[in-house]
Each structure stands twice: as C-alpha cells, then as structure tokens.
Amino acid sequence: MPFLPRAVYPLMIGSALLMFAGGVNGLILPVRGSQEGFSSFSLGLLGTGWAIGYILGCLMMPRTVARVGHIRAFGAMTALAVISVLASLLVIEAWAWIPLRGVAGFAFAGAAMIVESWLNERAEAASRGRVFGLYTMVNLAATTLGQMALTTGETSTHLFFVVAAIFYALALLPSGLYASHAPNPLVGASLDLKTLWRNSPVAVASVVLIGISNSSFGTLGAVYGEQIDLSVSAIALFMSLSILAGAGAQVPIGYYSDRMDRRVVLVAIAAVALAVDIFLAAVQPTSPTVVLAAAALFGACIYSMYPVVVAHANDHAPDNYFLRTSGGLLLLYGVGSIAGPLIAGVTMSATGPSGLFIAIAGAHLTLIAYALWRIRQRVAPPQKADFVPAHPARMSTTETASLDPRAEEQEIEQERVEELPEDENG
C-alpha cells in the first residue's frame, strides 16, 4: 500500500509553493516597510488588513467556488495574490500596502481552502491522518524556507517582491494541470457564539486573546528585530525559530494536555510566555543569541496554545459538532488577529520596540487571570477529544478542519447513528 494516494502529491506541491510565497511576502513587507520609515502603527495595520482579508476569504470563498468552480476560483485567487505583491512594489506607501495586504489575505485564504478541499477529497479514511500530518509538515517547512529566503539577497531592492509573485503564480500549476475533476463543495466557516460560549467560555475568551498575541508577534516581530538592530539574517531566524519551536513543543504539550485539565496546561504555557514577555520588555536585550533563545521559548508557548484551546472546546462540545466548533474558533481567532497588530502598533509607536511585548503581555495576563477564575468555577469535563497538533504559522481554514482525522471519525459516527432504527438512536 503506498504511503499516500498519488493524487495527493501535486496538491502538496501546490500548497508548499503557496506557503513559500506567503512566507516571503509576510516577512519582506514589515522589513522593507521599516527600512522605508513606516511607523509601527502603519506596519501593525498590515496585520490587521491581512486578518480582515483572510476572514472575508474564509466566509466568501465557498459561495464563489459554487458559482465559478474550483479551478477558475483558484486561478483568480493566485492572480489577486500576484497583483497585490507587485502593486506593493510599485507603490511603496503605507496607505497602499494596508489594503493590498488585505487583498493578499483574501486571496491566500481562498487558495488555501481550495487546495485543502482537494486534499480532503483525495484523503481516504485509511490515509487521512498521514495526509493531515504531511500537509502540516510541508506547510511549516515551506513557510520557514520562505522566511529564510530573505537571508540570500538584498531586501532594499525589488528581488523578494518578484520572488513572492513568481511562487504565487507557480502554485497554480500543480493543481490546475493535474486535477481531473473538481472536489466536493467547500466547507463554510460558521460562528455560533452562543453555543460556543455556553460550552466553553475559556475557549472563546482565550482564542481571541491568542489571536491578539500571535498576530501581533507575526506582524511586528520583524519590526521589533529591525528596531533593536538585528541583521536581516537574524530577523529571519528570529521569526523562523519561533515557528519551528512552536511546532516541536506541541508533542510534549499535547501529551500533558491529554492527561490533565487542559485549562491548567493553557495557564502554564501562558505563564511561561508572560515571563518571556516581561524579560524582553523590561531587560530589552540586544544580543542576537539571547534574543533568538527568547524567541524560541516564546514561539514554543504561543504557537502551542491554539490546539490546546481547540481540544478543550471539543471536550465540551456536543457530539458531531467538531467542524462548527473549529469554524467558530477560527473566526474568533480572526477577530483577535484584527485587533492585535493595531494594539501592538500603537504601543510600539508610544514606547519603542519593547511596546510589542508590553501589548502581548497584556493579552497573556488577561488569559491567565480569566482561565484561573474559570477553573475555580467549573470542574474539568471528561476528555473526549484528543489533542491534535495544528499548523502554527498561519490561521487555519475550515477546510483544514475538515481534513483533520477527527472530522472523519465524527462523520462516520453520525452516519452510523442516522442509520439506526428510530427507537435505538432516540
């Protein structure tokens, strides 16, 4: 039996090209913007614009694909991504980059959803876990390579804008040339805030705060590095190390998360992150070695919080509610991602580079306080959802959730229940 269905590999290649382009584009903009003298507030708005575009892409893409088809929609999304990158090179002004970043977020979300939709259809029940794991690894590696690519050339020229545009265009080829038929309709994101809040207030509050902290760092981490005089190579390593550490930390954190109250695990992670926040904000180290070590510990914490929250929310959720829970948490994370870079940008403009971690510390302190209060109010539920590592480099889409092996298990169970006689399934 092959490791994976053959039809999966072209889609993996397309996803890798898409993520590589996203890694290049996501880092060159704050680095170049800082070199051009853009304010921290303006650079923070780049992250806000991206998050708004990304959420709109998740909400609107299922309807767009239903109207024009997967392949044509994917072509349109890659075209929009290329246009946004090249237009950012033509007009190097903050007022232009912010909406263009929103266009890029919209296009990136749409393209990712379509690739994931194909993967979801190609992944059989026996291979779904392997497909999900390989997809996560490929995207992580491609994003990291995209960021590290900035160490190979001069960031003050047109080079990396063109590279990002080329790889966005290349992402169209594997799925566009290989796919013989369109996959099933896309899964739309949904938000049932009342049910989510009733099931798990900690998950709702925490995911917004995690969105604030993670998006602040993802958008303005490179600006922080620029302002403390790190080299471009060190900035790229600063951002990449945090992602890699976040991916690696999910194995031990997942182990403990499945064996004790997940809220306690979440508080412990946030407490370590808060300690790093305070260290970077108060001590303000400039040694590259110290800063990189702090970034690794910081990334290990912040990028492992989200999957803990998802697992905790699903412990409380009704049976067969996985996709709706994941979709709702995705949109709430997006709300935090809109606010985070804006808050951190204002704080950095007022206090300097340490303002980034002052803003993030506020989010982590609030998360800890609320989670501890909820632990006193409500006992932990029996755990029915396993911790599953999540891609730490970007917001997931609802199609990522449908690719998760837990979704397949719940769909099978739902079909079994529906087939039972009425007197047996109640």
Q: What is the DSSP string of 74-92?
A: HHHHHHHHHHHHHHHHH--
Reduced to 3 states, what is the DSSP secondary structure of residue 199?
helix
Side chain identity, residue 423: D
Task: Quote the CA–CA distance of 351 and 357 in Å, as a whole number.
Answer: 11
Taking only the tens place, the pLDDT of each residue in 56-85 is 998 888 888 888 888 888 889 999 999 999
pLDDT of 242 over the 70 cut: yes
Task: Quote the CA–CA distance of 354 and 225 in Å, as a whole number.
Answer: 11
The domain defined by 1-184 folds into Growth Hormone; Chain: A; (1.20.1250)
Tell me if domain 1-184 and domain 189-395 are identical in fold: yes
pLDDT for position 417:
40
Asked if 380 and 359 count as a contact pair (C-beta separation under 8 A), the reply is no
Structure tokens at 380: 């932990």
Angle at which helices 232-257 and 201-227 cross, to 10°: 160
Side chain identity, residue 6: R
Residue among 347, 290, 318, 323 at smallest CA distance from 396? 323
pLDDT for position 83:
97
pLDDT of 415 over the 60 cut: no
Helix spans in 126-231 (H) = 128-148, 159-170, 172-178, 193-199, 201-227
Taking only the tens place, the pLDDT of each residue in 162-213 is 999 999 999 988 877 765 566 667 766 666 788 888 888 999 999 999 999 9
3-state helix, strand, coil split of the chain in percent (to 5) is 80, 0, 20
pLDDT band at 1 (very low <50, low <70, confident <90, very high): very low
Asked if 303 and 166 count as a contact pair (C-beta separation under 8 A), the reply is no
Taking only the tens place, the pLDDT of each residue in 307-357 is 898 888 888 776 666 667 777 888 899 999 999 999 999 999 999 999 999
Structure tokens at 255: 């182990």
Pick the CATH number of 189-395 from 3.30.365.10, 3.40.50.300, 1.20.1340.10, 1.20.1250.20: 1.20.1250.20
pLDDT band at 107 (very low <50, low <70, confident <90, very high): very high
What is the residue extent of each domain of the chain?
Answer: 1-184, 189-395
pLDDT for position 322:
65
Asked if 397 and 330 count as a contact pair (C-beta separation under 8 A), the reply is yes
